[in-house]
A and B are shown apart, each in its own frame.
Chain A
């Protein structure tokens, strides 16, 4: 797996490079946007990690360029010190598959890179039982058990929960969730989605204490994350 990393700050560039190599991938480093675009024209990368603020081109421009010109586009991760909610949405709308605010944390960055690679290049899920830590999805029965205890979910709640877990560490837009779980059902609104997410969160106890965190993304959607013990220590 070959990953292109673009950041004008050498410290950041080296940090990301370390995380990528530690995760077992090969990192190609760029400090100018134009250089990355030139490379993308000739070479193929399995993933792109870009910084937003660059001296020559905006990271958003590069995202848009890649979405338009690369078919299929590799998964793209936006890292930025712009942490405002509006900025996050702008980045996702420009074509990023996910974003991370700086300062970056090693385990979080590694988890995101792995999640994006896995989803893009994963083999189809084998039918039967899917397990995420102590949570098991029984596909045939359409039921969920946590630590062996079966939790009653409606069909929509089951589908929503499975979608969130299959996309661990990935930002999911409301539109994507609505289309995947409800199809093109009319008279469905954001508020209904929020209530379903709220019920899944309460029933499955998706709280950091229990190892999972469900984060709403400002006006965009949701992301489910696995909370590693290490993250708590570093991020504090």
Chain B
């Protein structure tokens, strides 16, 4: 944008300078002259030039001629009833024949004589006036200036209708002739200083090359060889056309550099005035404004158009400017110099292109470097060409790698095992994979957005899935599927959100399996237990027809079945269910377990010795599971230990891998375990001894629970018996202080 402003300002300044200074005049003159040639038309019949040409000079002798010749010519004109005469011959110095000439002038009464006003004058005067000799000026109808204004290329394009200095005003020599047909411009207001001013400048319209006007040779008119009546009422100019007399000027509409006699310039001015005036020039302000207009259009175009369109716009504006200039000149008699505007257009485009190329090149360079920093290797061969071409090659290589990477990411997205969609910050879907298409079908087509997708799943508030801490739960779709949706906000390198990514995991089968598992557990925990419970209840009462031994065996089998079901349910829950977490004293847990097993222990005469230390061994865990774990360990010891023996439970603290642990040991006096048994000990459905009373699930439960609490269980063979050692992470700093 800054570049744009600089280009705009600099080209505008250039245009202004060209429009207001004469620098571009040369180009403007070319256009002007071409247009002037296009205006060539017939010369006005009413104008006649009496030429002092080579033939007249040959016949009448060297210039200057005696003034009698001029007196005779004027008399001829008088006889022929010619119209007003502009006699473009200087009679500045007095001469002996002035009286005769004055007589002829008086007789005619319509002859104007020329004055030359040169600026600056001699000796510090503002101007020098070369006026006709006073006696001639007196006799003439009037005097007029014949000053020419020569442009800096030497051509005469404009002539002042009036010269002014102080309160002096000189009208142009041909004004009286023009006044015969049209009102001529009035003189401007008098000046206040002596400087010579050219006022009411009129652009001269040249009708074709020199010689267009009707021209008679001076000698022919003098000799009366002009057809009678030819000169009657014609506007007559008398002047030199012979090349030797030097009064010749470059003008527009002289195609091959020919010079035009001064008298023809005056005649052209006369015809211009008779035709109502030449093309008017625009004021500098208008020129400036109109020159800047096409430039500003182009500069504005830079902002919105592509380079090719800019090029076309520039060319179009150049053509339009030239056309408008020509149209105004030919149809509206208005002259707008187009070169400043055209130069602005021509220069602004490359200036802008250069700046854009420089910017693009710098950008490519920085992007290539950024790619290299980001580790995108630019392995493409650096081909020849200029700097920009090499940069383009490097960038192309980088872009190709990025495109490969994008395809890789896109392929990865497509291959994701869950339905996944990617949305822009306005939640409109921009990417999706096959599974998402399978899930949503046609709803992923045009204009799909996240609210729509979620609504199609029967879920109106999709944004709650964005909360990283929230648990939005699962979506049950109208067609009975269970989906787990997870959404997250995509952010760019600056952490600004650039979109959303949403994943829909199909939990239907998983949930179905889970439901089956729950139902199986339900079956085991109640439906299978209930008949066993009834068997035991029946045997508890009077059972006629059964001997006590059979009764006890049936009860044992029923109880085993119950234990098996219980062990299985406990193991399944220990493996899959979420755990509670409470602060527990392992000593109390051991005591609870011992109390639970007291009936069985006392029946077998076994004493369970629990630690009676005052020390607390705090662990973080699920109280029910840890109690059952300990119960299982004690139960195991009770089953395999001898009658009337003892089971010792000990508690101590230790460190394991630098962390404090509680160590709970259960030491029995049983037969001990073989290596093989020890290995299979903690597997489900294996068990350690020859006694098949247990189903072997108890220790698998112990291992599962210990590991899920971050602890371990291991077996140690004792000299007699076996020792099971449980370690659990110890909580040293209980924040809760006891209540007094």
Contact = CB atoms under 8 A, between A and B. Distances in A.
B736 A12 contact: no
A195 interface: yes
A11 B537 contact: yes
Interface in A200-236: 201-202, 207-209, 213-216, 218-219, 227, 231-236
Interface of B is mostly: helix
A214 B589 CA distance: 12
Interface in A144-192: 154, 156, 182, 185, 188-192
B595 A231 contact: no
A14 B541 CA distance: 10
B736 A81 contact: no
Nearest to A193: B739
A2 interface: no
Interface string B38-78: 00000000000000000000000000000000000000000
**Which of A214, A216, A233 counts the most chain B CB atoms within 10 A?**
A216
B592 interface: yes
A227 B580 CA distance: 30
A69 B734 CA distance: 45
B534 A9 contact: yes
Contacts of B525: 82-84
B582 interface: yes
Given A198-B585, A215-B595, A218-B623, A192 B738 contact: yes
A208 B538 contact: no
B569 A84 contact: yes
Contact of A232 (B536, B592, B595, B598): B598
B740 A213 contact: no
Contacts of A85: 624
B448 interface: no
A191 B566 contact: no
Contact of B566 (A83, A154, A215): A83
A214 B739 contact: no
A173 to B, nearest CB: 15
Nearest to A235: B599
Nearest to B737: A192
B608 to A, nearest CB: 10
Contact of B736 (A104, A189, A207, A208): A189
B624 A191 contact: no
A6 B583 CA distance: 39
A103 interface: yes
B370 to A, nearest CB: 58
Nearest to A101: B533
Given A82-B525, A191-B736, A208 B534 contact: no
Nearest to A208: B598
Contacts of B37: none
B602 A208 contact: yes
B492 interface: no
Contacts of B598: 207-209, 213, 227, 232
Contact of B541 (A18, A192, A236): A18
A81 B603 contact: no
B739 A188 contact: yes
A182 B739 contact: yes
A194 interface: yes
Interface of A: 9, 11-12, 14-15, 18, 53, 81-85, 102-106, 154, 156, 182, 185, 188-196, 198, 201-202, 207-209, 213-216, 218-219, 227, 231-236
30 contacts: A12-B534, A14-B541, A53-B526, A81-B530, A82-B526, A83-B529, A83-B566, A84-B573, A85-B624, A102-B537, A103-B533, A103-B537, A106-B540, A154-B740, A156-B740, A190-B582, A191-B734, A191-B736, A192-B738, A193-B739, A196-B738, A207-B591, A208-B598, A214-B595, A216-B592, A218-B624, A219-B580, A231-B599, A232-B599, A236-B600
Given A104-B537, A215-B596, 10 more contacts: A11-B538, A15-B537, A81-B526, A103-B536, A195-B739, A208-B598, A209-B602, A213-B595, A231-B599, A232-B603
| Across the A-B interface, the 10 shortest Cβ-Cβ residue pairs | A208-B598, A236-B603, A192-B739, A103-B536, A191-B736, A102-B533, A85-B624, A218-B624, A235-B599, A232-B599
